[in-house]
Structure formats: C-alpha cells, structure tokens
Amino acid sequence: MQKYVLASAVAVTAIAAAGMASAQTLEEVKDRGVLNCGVNTGLVGFAAPDAEGEWEGFDVAVCRAVAAAVLGDASSVEFVSTTGKTRFTALASGEVDMVSRNTTWTFTRDVDLKNEFVGINYYDGQGFMVPKGLGVSSATELDGATICIQTGTTTELNLADYFRSNNMDYDPVPIETNAEAQQQYLAGACDVYTTDASGLAATRAAFETPGDHVILPEIISKEPLGPLVRNGDPEWADIVRWTLNGLIAAEEYGITSTNIEELAQGTNNPEINRMLGTEGNFGELLGLESDWLVNALKAGGNYGEIFERHIGENTPIGLARGLNAQWTEGGLMYSPPFR
Amino acid sequence: MSDVHARTVAFVRESEIPPAPPPEAVGGAVKWLRDNLFSNWFNAALTLASLYAIYWVLAQSLPWILNGVWNAGSLAECREILAGTSGACWAVLTERWNQLLFGFTYPSRLYWRPSLAFLLLLVCAAPVLFPALPRRMLILTAFYPFVAYFLIWGGSIWTPVLTAVGFMVGYAVYSRLVTQSFAMGFFGGVVAALVFWLLQGYLIPPLSAVAPIALEAVPSRNMGGFMLNIILGTVCISLSLPIGIALALGRQSSLPIIKWISVIFIEFIRGVPLITLLFVANVVLAYFLPPQTNLDLILRVVIMITMFASAYIAEVVRGGLAALPRGQYEAADSLGLDYAQAMRLIILPQALKISIPGIVNVAVGLFKDTTLVSVISMFDLVGMIRGPILASTDWNGVYWELFGFAALLFFVVCYGISQYSQWLERQLQTDRR
C-alpha cells in the first residue's frame, strides 16, 4: 500500500506532542458505548458505505467483530474514515480506538510511528495485470514493456528492484490515481498495470470485459495488511488481536455463523469450548463477557465467511484465497492456540 | 412654369417608392455571417474548423449522453441494458442522488431540514444582493445564520437563540458607547457579547427544562455531499469579507501594532497552501488544544478557510483602497470626518466598488477550493465520489458521469456568482465616468 512521507512526518510530530494517549481504551469504549474505528474513505471490497450509508467490507467486518466482542453489539461502531495521510494521526490523537484500513505492517510504522499492529487479516502483494491479447503468462516475459505505475508509492520502488534483479528493461508510465490508471491501461497507453494484487482484482472487476485481462501469477512484494492500535495500551491491543485470532481460528475449527448457537451450548472440543466461553474464563481475562467471541462471530461469521462475502470468488472482485487460506490448506492464516 | 416643366420632364413621381429591403448580401443573417464568421479566407477557414470541432465533440458525446441508462442497480446492470452500445450510466446519479447532495450519514428523514435552510438562504441573501428590495428584509438576513444552524445541526433551540441574543447585547452596548468613541463602543460591545456567551452555558439547561424545543441533533461528522460545499462556501465567504476589509484597513493603519499584526497575518496565510492549513485543522490542531476540548471539525475547517480567504480579500480590497486618488482621503479629512466616518462614508464605498471583480474572483475560487476538504477525509461532493461511491462494488468504474455531474453543479453555482457580479458592476457603474 501507499506510504506517504508526509503522513509519517505529521504523525511523528503529532506523537511527540501527545504520545501519552490514555491506556484505558477499553474503559473509554465501554463508557462511550461506541467503538471508534478508523477505516478507508473507500476501497472496493474492503470498506465502502452502501446506498443506505451502511459501511461494509472486509476491513469493516473486523471493526464490527471487535465492537461485538467488546460491547455485544456489532452496530455500535462509529466509522471514522481516514485517508492514507490521516490514519496514523487519527489513531495517535485518540480520535479512533483502532484502525482497520488496509495498512501494510512495516518496521517503521510499527516501531518509529509508535503503532501496534495486532495481526494480519490480508496478505497482499504487488502483481501485474496484462491484456490477454499480449500473450504473456509470466512476469519474467515482460522485458521492454510499458508499465503504468502509481508515483510515490512503494510499488514504484518494488518494480524497479524486480526488473533490475531480473535484468529486464521497462518503460514506466507514471500516473497519479487508480482511476487514472484504469483509463490509461484500457486506452492502451501501457501494456501492463501494476499495483497490489487485490487492487488489480478490484480494478479488473470494474472493466467492461474482465475476461480479456489476466493477472500474472508473480507477486513481487510483501504487503501484509492488518488492524492496528496505539502503543501503550497492551490490554486493548490484546482484545483486538485475539478477536482477529478468534475469527481466523473459528474458520479452522469449523465454527460458522450458522452453527455457532449450537456450538455455544458446549462441545466435545475443549479448544472450541474455551473460545466460546463454556470452559475457562478467557473473556474475563480480557476484561470482557464470557461470550465475547460468540458475539464477534455472530457479527459477520468467521474469517472465511467474511472473506467470501466481501472479496471472495463469488463477488465481483473475485479474489482467490491464495496466501490467505488457512495454514491447513496451504495458506498463511494461522492463529495461535486458545489455551 | 408648370407647363414648361410638364413638357420638359417626361415623368414625375407622385408618391414615394416603398422602402425596399437591403440587398441580401449586405443585411440580415448573411451580412452577419460575412462580418463575423467569413470576413476573409483565414477567418472562414477557422470558422469551418471550429464548426467541425463542435460537430465532432457533439457527435461523440451526444449519443453517449442521450443513450444513457437511468435505472439500474449497478454498473454491470447498466452494461447489460446497454448491450454493447455506447451510453452513459446515469443510474449512478439516480441511485446515489441523496448521497451526492447530503452525504451518506445525514439521516434521510431529515433531508427537509437542509433543503429548507437552502431555500431560506436564497430568500434571506436576496436583500443583501439586490439593493432594490425593501431594506426591512435585512432583518431576515440577520436572523438567517441562527435559523440555518438550528435547521442543519438541530439540537436545542436555545443555543442559536441565546447566541443571537448575545449579538444583540453586544450591539446594544456598542450603540450606547459609540457616541463617546468608536473604539470604546466596539470593544465594549465585544466584551459584553463575550460575557453573555460565557454565561450562556449556564442558561441553556434551565431554559431547555422550561421549554424543551429541540430538533434531532445531527453531528458535524454526518454532514456531506454538495451540502457541505455550500455550507463551507457560504459561511467562509460571508465571514471572510468583513475580516478581509478589516485586515486591509489594518494594513494601512498608522498604528504600528495593528499594522504589523495585519501584515504578518496576511503574508503568512498567503504564503501557505490551503491544503496545509486544512491538515493543520484536521490533525495538528488536536494536539495544540487541551485534550478534552473537542472543537468541531467543520468549525476548525471553517476557521482555516476563512483565514485563508480573508488574507486574499484583504489584498484585493487594499488594491481598491490604493486605486482611490489621494484627494478622496483629503476631502474626507477636510470635511472634519473622523476615521470611522471617513471610511464608512467616503473611502470604502468607492474602494469596494473597484474591488468587486477581485472579490468575486476570490469567492468563486474559494467555493471551488472547498472540495479540498475531501483530502482530510470529509465527504463533500468530490469526497463522496472519490470515496464511498467509486469504492462500492456496484459503481466502481463510473467516472465520467459522476465527475461530469459534479462539474455541472459547480459550474451552475460559479456561473451564477459571476453573472451576479457583472450585473452588480453595471448597477454601480464602476468605470467612474
């Protein structure tokens, strides 16, 4: 995803000024009765309000799950839309309690900007899209291609690195926004369009004839996207982290929004029992009700259900699970045990 | 004699020839065409080229516009209906109409409130804009800001009412003291109003208990769409005009502190891009204020845009002041007028008249600049389009229709402002015969 130097600069000054944000986020959220969650101003499939103004999307579902876990109500969320430039300051200043905004987990953002990334809900990476007519089936065949690329982003640097390490040449066509890229690419100004793979899929989904374009299999960078909270409140970080882990683990153990009522009565599987609060006191340890994860899962189902509903293969975006499959199915989604 | 004449002249006309129309070639449409479009071969060539260009643009765009689809649930449906033919997908405007106008979080059952406020704006702004209307209507204008605030934001009626009362208290004190000196009246009025507003906080709860008149409150965060552009544009333009005039006068003042404050303010604000000020309003200001102060985001943005616009208006007005002949100032002095009177009666009416085109220029620019708030994640018209609408799975990929619509809305308003200013200039005859 994009990294803005300005955002970092502003965020750093901001944190220097007000670094000691309250460590009592859980209390504040409970008193307020509403979770303030920072989301994108609009990203297809990840966060966008529908015609009725209801927010929905893959990132939004994480906010709703946390709200359900903490407050018992998935609709007690105030969505604060943040741009790439304002997301970290909104978090640091306490305007939002957490950010779930397709944000790449990087060293500097974690360490230097004093954020705490609590997990990864989507493994993204930079990919290439080409028209089928070009007859290219691998990125290694792109020598000499003209490539549309968004300026000022990590994708630009990744591209240069990739082509240099593969001893290939390319001709960059710099563009400003994804919308512009879409027009340029369709008009034939460039042979290839490169950005994050999820973005490519969403862009392609909006084409008149998506079938005429292919996304090449090579992924040339790591873009792990995940929710984050402020540094300095480990209890709150734990809540968000384990809600996300709960969604992922629920898919692994087959807990879905349809069978959760039944499973919440108690099962033979002690791990499921511990998650759903019929055994042990995990909710209490987090400072929440014992059925916290039941509520979180009722909000939108487990990780797999959320994925399928918002960005999965049956949606216009049509992303395959790929890296985001459970570890048992060859992906990277791996929740630590509930023990 | 007549006999002779009758014999020497074969024919005498006894009635006038009826006037004949001028030859085709030197009158009517043909002459106009000749004069204006085909006066020589070069202009004729240019005319033909322009006609072809216009034809080409229309031939490309008209079928697309007219063949548009107005009823569909998504871009994919649009394309299905169009079945491969070229056509616009206007359905996005139909489906998201309310979102484009009001943003996506303003409660839909309350849309009548901003709409009413907008209609009232047209009524209440009229007496300021058209001198021919009865002066008594200015009372409506004076009360309009409070009514509009009450309608758009809702909440207890006592907040706007008491704020208005505060202004009246300030004015009462001012008119008491101004007979002694202008400065005393001015500062006395300001202090009285401030004291009243400080007390206001204690008055609202008991008053609300006695007469709980309130509309459902809508927080600022829920404002959006073109409504937000209009709110920001109207408020900032009307606030920046008096502030700008004050700054322009301050810059010419002989009192060094006032002069330097004005100069530094104007030069600093003019030297900083608006977008930077907006970022300051959105993110940095939160750190300078005490943690519990929750200054409303719209208020912060209004303050920043107003500061920005007043600096520009101040310079425009200063241009007007500088254009006045020195004699006008001296004439005012020789009449024995004090500073306030001289400015109010002689200098400013002339200087402002000269400044109209410049002021309108700033106003139009400012109105369009309100779209910059989309960068600090406020959902004005452009923010709505770039964010929620283009990011919905239904409408991802619709660009021309949405941005064309936004351009149309802005064009209508800005062209209206520009036409009004030209009318006003004709009324005031700024060319100073």
Same domain, A153 and A45: no
Same domain, A73 and A208: no
pLDDT surpasses 80 at B4: no
Same domain, A11 and A118: yes
The residue count of chain A comes to 339
CATH at residue A236? 3.40.190.10
Same domain, A106 and A32: yes
Which chain B residues are Cβ-neighbours of A42 within 8 angstroms? 386-392
Mean pLDDT of B369-395: 87
Distance from CA of A91 to the nearest CA of B (A): 10
Facing A86 at nearest CB: one of B105, B377, B388: B377
Distance from CA of A278 to the nearest CA of B (A): 39
pLDDT surpasses 70 at A11: no
**Chain A residues with at least one Cβ partner in B under 8 Å:** 10, 13-14, 17-18, 40-45, 47-51, 53, 80-83, 85-86, 89-90, 93-95, 179, 182-183, 202, 205-208, 315-317
Instruction: Note whether A316 contacts B375, CB cutoff 8 Å.
Output: no
Q: Which of B279, B301, B291 is nearest to A11 (CA)?
A: B279
* A:B CB pairs within 8 Å: 93
Mean pLDDT of B60-77: 89
For residue range A42-70, list pLDDT tens digits in order.
Answer: 888 889 888 888 999 999 999 999 999 99
Nearest residue of B to residue A15, measured between CA atoms = B287
Which chain A residues are Cβ-neighbours of B375 within 8 angstroms? 83, 85
> Could you tell me if A73 and A101 are in contact, meaning their C-beta atoms sit under 8 angstroms apart?
no
Answer with the one of A161, A195, A221 that is the final residue of a domain.
A221
Same domain, A72 and A206: no
Most A CBs within 10 A among B75, B292, B393, hence the mutation to make, goes to B393
Which chain A residues are Cβ-neighbours of B76 within 8 angstroms? 316
Dist. CA B410–CA A157, nearest whole Å: 38
pLDDT surpasses 60 at B5: no
Residues 6+ apart with CB under 8 A from B62: none
* Residue A19 within any structural domain of the chain: yes
Residue B190, both tokens: 């300001």
In this predicted structure, what is the pLDDT of residue B290? Answer: 67
Facing A10 at nearest CB: one of B283, B388, B399: B283
pLDDT surpasses 70 at A4: no
Facing B283 at nearest CB: one of A86, A316, A317: A86
Which chain B residues are Cβ-neighbours of A187 within 8 angstroms? none
CATH number assigned to the domain with residue range B93-106+218-428, chosen from the 4 options 3.30.470.20, 3.30.1330.60, 3.30.1330.40, 1.10.3720.10 = 1.10.3720.10
Facing B391 at nearest CB: one of A42, A85, A95: A42
Answer with the one of A188, A203, A221 that is the final residue of a domain.
A221
Q: What percent of chain A has pLDDT over 70?
A: 92
Which chain A residues are Cβ-neighbours of B279 within 8 angstroms? 10, 85
Residue recorded with tokens 């994860």: A293
- Least confident segment among A183-187, B64-68, B240-244: A183-187
In this predicted structure, what is the pLDDT of residue B334? Answer: 94
For residue range A96-114, list pLDDT tens digits in order.
Answer: 999 999 888 989 889 998 8
Instruction: Note whether B397 contacts A43, CB cutoff 8 Å.
Output: no
In this predicted structure, what is the pLDDT of residue A259? Answer: 93
Q: Which of B337, B330, B343 is nearest to B248 (CA)?
A: B343
Same domain, A109 and A232: yes
Same domain, A91 and A237: yes
For residue range A246-262, list pLDDT tens digits in order.
Answer: 999 999 999 999 999 99
Dist. CA A217–CA A279, nearest whole Å: 44
pLDDT surpasses 80 at A177: no
Residue B255, both tokens: 């009192």
Which chain A residues are Cβ-neighbours of B95 within 8 angstroms? 51
What is the band of B283 on the pLDDT scale with cuts at 50, 70, 90? confident
> Could you tell me if B118 and B230 are in contact, meaning their C-beta atoms sit under 8 angstroms apart?
yes
What is the band of A18 on the pLDDT scale with cuts at 50, 70, 90? very low
Which chain B residues are Cβ-neighbours of A95 within 8 angstroms? 286
Domain ranges of chain B: 22-58, 93-106+218-428, 156-215
CA contacts within 13 A on the Cβ side of A337: 3
Q: What percent of chain A has pLDDT over 90?
A: 56
Same domain, A215 and A242: no
Which chain A residues are Cβ-neighbours of B388 within 8 angstroms? 41-42, 48-49
pLDDT surpasses 90 at A217: no
Same domain, A86 and A234: yes
Answer with the one of A168, A189, A221 that is the final residue of a domain.
A221
Same domain, A21 and A107: yes
What is the band of A5 on the pLDDT scale with cuts at 50, 70, 90? very low
Residue A94, both tokens: 């306490």
Instruction: Note whether A40 contacts B391, CB cutoff 8 Å.
Output: yes
DSSP H or E segment with residue A150: strand A145-150
CA contacts within 13 A on the Cβ side of B95: 26
Instruction: Note whether B388 contacts A48, CB cutoff 8 Å.
Output: yes
Which chain A residues are Cβ-neighbours of B396 within 8 angstroms? 44, 202, 205-206, 316
Facing B393 at nearest CB: one of A81, A179, A317: A317
What is the tally of structural domains in chain A? 2
Dist. CA B123–CA B134, nearest whole Å: 13
pLDDT surpasses 80 at A206: no
Same domain, A62 and A38: yes
Instruction: Note whether B393 contacts A205, CB cutoff 8 Å.
Output: yes
ipTM of the complex: 0.73
Most A CBs within 10 A among B102, B288, B392, hence the mutation to make, goes to B392
Cα-based angle A252, A258, A261 (whole degrees, multiple of 5): 95
Residue recorded with tokens 């109500």: A73
Most A CBs within 10 A among B77, B282, B293, B386, hence the mutation to make, goes to B282
Same domain, A113 and A161: no
Cα-based angle A191, A197, A199 (whole degrees, multiple of 5): 85
C-alpha of A84 from chain center: 13
Distance from CA of B203 to the nearest CA of A (A): 26
Mean pLDDT of B15-23: 84
β-pairing, A145-150 vs A192-196, is parallel
Task: Return the higher-pLDDT residue of B297 and B70.
Answer: B70
Distance from CA of B371 to the nearest CA of A (A): 15
Distance from CA of B21 to the nearest CA of A (A): 57
Quote the domain boundaries for residue A207. Answer: 126-221
* Residue A336 within any structural domain of the chain: no
What are the backbone dihedrals phi and psi of residue A158, each rounded to the nearest 5 degrees, phi first? -60, -40
